[in-house]
A = this chain, B = another copy of it.
Amino acid sequence: MGTIVQKYGGTSVASSEHIERVARRVMRRRAAGDDVVVVVSAMGKETDRLVALAAEVDGPDSAANRREMDVLLSTGEQVTIAMLAMTLNKFGCPACSYTGGQVAIVTDDAHTKARILRIDSERMRCDLNAGRVVVVAGFQGRNEAGDITTFGRGGSDTTAVALASALKADECEIYTDVEGVFTTDPRMVEGARCLPAVTFEEMLELASLGSRVLHTRSVELASKYQMPLRVRSSFDDAPGTLITSEEKIRMAGMEQPTISGIALTRDEAKLTVRGVRDIPGVASHILGPISDANIEVDMIVQNVSADGSTDFTFTVSRPDYELAMKLLKNVAKDIEASEVTGDNKIAKLSLVGVGMRSHAGVASRMFRALAEESINIQMISTSEIKISVVIDEKYLELAARTLHSSFALDQEPG
C-alpha cells in the first residue's frame, strides 16, 4: 500500500491503442493496492505538429509570444490526459484528469522554461483517497497570475518527479521505449547490459553525456528530494533501472560496480589556441565571445606553461564548430596567439562510476586498454566519478567495445 507516480512518454501514448495498454498497466498497479498518479506527455508527434503550427505564424521570439507558445504547446498533454482518464473510466477504474495548472503546479514566470515553485497536492490526495487514479498533464504548470507555463525539454519527467516529491510517493516510474539505463549504447556495443541500479550522481553524468533516457533536470530534482526513480519500458514487464542514492542501493544489498557505464558522445569538435601568453584573464578573453554567441562549451583543457606561453583547448558540439572557429580567429589576433587549430571529427567517451572514488587505477587501466588498441587520446578530463577522453571519431566504436569488456561491463557484477 504505497503511492506510485508513473510517467509515460509520447511513444507510450502515441495512439488510443497505446493508451489502452497504459491504462491496463495503471490498473494492475492499482489492483496491487497502490495509489497511482499518472503523468503523461503529448501523444506521439503532437508536440511537433503544434511547433510546426506556431512556425507558420513566424512571430518574433518575444516574451509575449513565449507566453502564447505555452498556451499552444500545453494543449498536447491536455489531450492525452483526457484520453487516458476516459479509457480508465471505460475499464471501470475511476480516474480524473488535471492540467498542470489545475493540480496546482505553480511556477515562476519564465515561459517555455519555467521552474516549479510549489505544488499543492491536496486535490490529488483527495482523489487518491476516494479511490481514483489521478492523471496529470506533464511539462506544464501555471504562474502566480494563472498564466500557463511550460518547462522545456524533459518537462514531463520533471513533472513526475516533482509530483512524487510533493506526494511523498514511494517511487517515481518513468516509462519509455527502452528497457532502462544501459552500460553503454547497445547499438554500438553488442554486450551492453541494462543496469539494475545506478546512483543519482552516475545517472547525472550518464544523462548529460549522451545517454538520453532521462533528462538531467529531473534527475537533479529526484536527487535533491531523494526520490527513487525507475526507468522501464512500457512495452514489457522488466524491472528496468532503479536510480537512487548510493546508500539505498547498498541497503538493498545490490552490488555497486566500480564502473557503471560508458557514455558516448559523437558530434563533438575541438578548438585549440596555441602560444597563448600564460597570464590571468586569458581564458575569459578566449571564451567570452564564444559564450556571448550562445555556444555551449563542454571540456576545457589548459596545460602547464612552457616559457610563459600555453595552449588552450576546448570542445563544442559539432554544429557550432564553424562559428566558434571564426570567433576564435578574431580573438587570436587580439591576444597575440601564435595559431588556432581545430578538429571536427572527434568523439568523447566517458567512464562513469561512483566506485571509482575508492578504486585507484581506473584511469591507468583505461589508458592502457586504449593504448593496446593503438587509440590515441587527444584530451583527458576527470571529475570525482568520471573520466572522459576525446579520441578520433573513427575509433569510438572500437574504444567503447574495448573498455566495455576491459571493465567487465558485459557481465553481471559480483
Q: Which residues of A contact B (CB under 8 A)?
A: 16, 19, 50, 53-54, 56-60, 62, 64-65, 67-69, 71-72, 74-75, 78-79, 81-83, 85-87, 89-90, 94-97, 99, 102, 146-148
CB atoms of B86 and A59 under 8 A apart: yes
CB atoms of B78 and A65 under 8 A apart: no
CB atoms of B60 and A16 under 8 A apart: no
CB atoms of B16 and A57 under 8 A apart: yes
CB atoms of B82 and A96 under 8 A apart: no
CB atoms of A85 and B97 under 8 A apart: no
CB atoms of A83 and B72 under 8 A apart: yes
Bound complex: CA of A146 vs CA of B69, how far in Å?
23
Contact of A54 (CB < 8 Å), options: B56, B86, B146, B148: B86
CB proximity of A66 to chain B, nearest CB, Å: 10
Please name all residues of chain B whose beta carbon is closer than 8 Å to the beta carbon of A68 when the two chains form the complex: 82-83, 85-86, 89, 97
Q: Which residue of the partner chain B has the closest CB to A62? A: B89
Bound complex: CA of A395 vs CA of B50, how far in Å?
50
The listed residue with most B CB atoms (<10 A of its CB), out of A50, A81, A99, is A99
Q: Which residue of the partner chain B has the closest CB to A79? A: B75
CB atoms of A87 and B57 under 8 A apart: yes
Bound complex: CA of A251 vs CA of B380, how far in Å?
87
Please name all residues of chain B whose beta carbon is closer than 8 Å to the beta carbon of A95 when the two chains form the complex: 64
Contact of A78 (CB < 8 Å), options: B62, B75, B146: B75
Given A85-B71, A86-B59, A89-B68, is A53 in contact with B79 using a C-beta cutoff of 8 Å? yes
CB atoms of B64 and A96 under 8 A apart: yes
Bound complex: CA of A90 vs CA of B82, how far in Å?
32
CB atoms of A57 and B102 under 8 A apart: no
Please name all residues of chain B whose beta carbon is closer than 8 Å to the beta carbon of A81 when the two chains form the complex: 71
Please name all residues of chain B whose beta carbon is closer than 8 Å to the beta carbon of A60 when the two chains form the complex: 89-90
Q: Which residue of the partner chain B has the closest CB to A59? A: B90
Please name all residues of chain B whose beta carbon is closer than 8 Å to the beta carbon of A75 when the two chains form the complex: 75, 78-79
Please name all residues of chain B whose beta carbon is closer than 8 Å to the beta carbon of A65 when the two chains form the complex: 86, 89-90
Please name all residues of chain B whose beta carbon is closer than 8 Å to the beta carbon of A102 when the two chains form the complex: 146-147
Please name all residues of chain B whose beta carbon is closer than 8 Å to the beta carbon of A97 when the two chains form the complex: 68, 71
Bound complex: CA of A306 vs CA of B209, how far in Å?
94
Please name all residues of chain B whose beta carbon is closer than 8 Å to the beta carbon of A50 when the two chains form the complex: 79
Given A71-B85, A79-B72, A82-B72, is A90 in contact with B58 using a C-beta cutoff of 8 Å? yes
Please name all residues of chain B whose beta carbon is closer than 8 Å to the beta carbon of A56 when the two chains form the complex: 16
Please name all residues of chain B whose beta carbon is closer than 8 Å to the beta carbon of A16 when the two chains form the complex: 53, 56-57
Given A16-B53, A53-B16, A57-B16, is A64 in contact with B79 using a C-beta cutoff of 8 Å? no
CB proximity of A171 to chain B, nearest CB, Å: 27
Name 13 interchain pairs, CB-CB below 8 A, sorted by A.
A16-B57, A19-B57, A54-B86, A59-B87, A59-B90, A64-B85, A64-B89, A65-B86, A68-B97, A69-B86, A71-B85, A71-B99, A74-B78
